């Protein structure tokens, strides 16, 4: 009999997804922990199951070594940085991953961040809570130059959401999307060209060794004075210490992050700044996105593929600076 374990807390808390999964498999174990499991507690939960749905859990060599019966992992969500893909391949564990399943939700949050930063919502909200009625002068998003780093699923969705605003759109990506760019008036540029030209820089790339820390002190220094930075992708993409310095000096007009280097903690130095807007990794946390991600994960239990050339998860990791 097939035994399925759901390690993802978000999936396990969703009653609709629980019912759909239980309707397809007779033997299902759900994580009931309030915290993301790792190490031995995660092994203890997953042991004895041949298929698993995982979210933010770290699946590495040590975990896999304790799960010899595990044959399939299906990813709830799109981030792959928690999965040791070479280790999965060595252990013969098939992987199911569906890219872009939450792209609309993340793109909407990104658009909201952009408008909030330009209209100086973080600063005025902090002041209002302190009893100060500050009517600071902001800027319209309409007509601004937006620099999109990574024009994959979310980047493309964002381009289309920005259409009514008449923005100049710049994109930096390792892939050639010339047909999409031509159809939507996007200018392909290098990173060095994008940073000083954009009023808003937004990140939409996966986290791997080629992108980790890709926005550091040098890149922030190249950004236009008063520009804003948005990161709703992965926390490790931005050097948070350098971002704190750029915001504290007033060189950057603002920054918004839905992701942080040390989740589930947010950098206290960032959170303390009035020009910073932070949210606790809610980019995929809408009812619609959770159902879409959950149903993709359920389907993946039967559709998982061996990790090898052409696997969509490996193709997603091909970003390089």
Strand pairing class (3-6; 186-188): unpaired
Predicted local confidence at residue 321, as pLDDT: 29
Predicted local confidence at residue 319, as pLDDT: 43
Q: How far apart are CA 22 and CA 11, in angstroms?
A: 12
Q: Identify the DSSP state of 59.
A: B
Residue 204 designated active-site: no
Predicted local confidence at residue 1, as pLDDT: 83
Classify 310 in phi/psi space as left (phi over 0), alpha (psi -120 to 50) or beta.
left
Predicted local confidence at residue 315, as pLDDT: 67
- Catalytic, out of 263, 295, 311, 318: 263
Predicted local confidence at residue 317, as pLDDT: 57
CA distances from 109 to 99, 114, 136 (A): 18, 9, 23
Predicted local confidence at residue 264, as pLDDT: 85
Predicted local confidence at residue 209, as pLDDT: 87
Predicted local confidence at residue 309, as pLDDT: 82
CB contact set of 14 (below 8 Å; sequence gap of 6+): 290, 291, 294
Predicted local confidence at residue 8, as pLDDT: 97
Residue 91 designated active-site: no
Q: Which domains does the chain have, with CATH numbers?
A: 3-101+286-316 (3.40.50.720), 103-278 (3.40.50.720)
Residue 144 designated active-site: no
- Catalytic, out of 281, 295, 311, 318: 281
- Catalytic, out of 51, 144, 224, 234: 234
Q: Tell me the DSSP string of 44-100.
A: HHHTT-SEEEESS--B-HHHHHT-TT--EEEESSS--TTB-HHHHHHTT-EEE--TT
Six token digits for residue 77 = 């969500």
User: The dihedral of CA 214, 218, 223, 229: what is its sign?
Assistant: positive
Query: If you search the block for the tokens 């047909």, which residue do you land on?
Result: 179
Per-residue pLDDT of the chain (321 residues; tens, 9 = 90+): 899 999 999 999 999 999 999 999 999 999 999 999 999 999 999 999 999 999 999 999 999 999 999 999 999 998 888 999 999 999 999 999 998 999 999 999 999 999 999 999 999 999 999 999 999 999 999 999 999 999 999 999 999 999 999 999 999 999 999 999 999 999 999 999 999 999 999 999 998 888 999 999 999 999 999 999 999 999 999 999 999 999 999 999 999 999 999 988 899 999 999 999 999 999 989 999 999 999 999 999 999 999 988 788 876 655 432
């Amino acid at each position: 009999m097939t035994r399925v374990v759901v390690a993802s807390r978000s999936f396990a808390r969703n009653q609709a997804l629980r019912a759909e999964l239980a309707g397809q498999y007779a033997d299902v174990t759900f994580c009931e922990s309030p915290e993301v499991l790792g190490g031995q507690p995660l092994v203890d939960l997953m042991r004895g199951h041949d298929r698993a749905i995982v979210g933010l859990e770290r699946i590495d060599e040590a975990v896999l070594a304790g799960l010899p019966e595990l044959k399939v992992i299906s990813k709830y969500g799109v981030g792959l940085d928690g999965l040791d893909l070479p280790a999965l391949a060595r252990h013969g564990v098939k992987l199911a991953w569906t890219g872009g399943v939450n792209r609309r939700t993340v793109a909407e949050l990104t658009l909201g961040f952009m408008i909030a930063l330009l209209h100086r919502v973080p600063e005025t909200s902090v002041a209002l809570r302190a009893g100060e009625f500050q009517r600071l002068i902001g800027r319209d998003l309409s007509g601004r130059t937006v620099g999109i780093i990574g024009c994959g699923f979310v980047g493309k969705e964002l381009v289309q959401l920005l259409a009514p605003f008449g923005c100049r759109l710049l994109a930096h990506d390792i892939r050639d999307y010339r047909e999409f760019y031509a159809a939507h008036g996007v200018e392909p540029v290098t990173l060095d060209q994008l940073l000083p030209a954009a009023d808003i820089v937004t990140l939409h790339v996966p986290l791997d060794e080629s992108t980790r820390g890709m926005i550091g002190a040098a890149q922030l220094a190249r950004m236009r004075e008063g520009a804003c930075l948005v990161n709703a992708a992965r926390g490790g993409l931005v050097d948070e210490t350098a971002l704190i310095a750029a915001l504290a000096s007033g060189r950057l007009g603002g920054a918004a992050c839905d992701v942080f280097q040390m989740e589930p903690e947010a950098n206290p130095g960032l959170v303390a700044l009035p020009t910073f807007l932070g949210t606790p990794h809610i980019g995929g946390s809408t009812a619609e996105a959770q159902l879409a991600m959950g149903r993709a994960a359920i389907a993946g239990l039967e559709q998982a593929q061996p990790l090898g050339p052409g696997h969509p998860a490996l193709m997603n990791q091909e970003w390089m600076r």
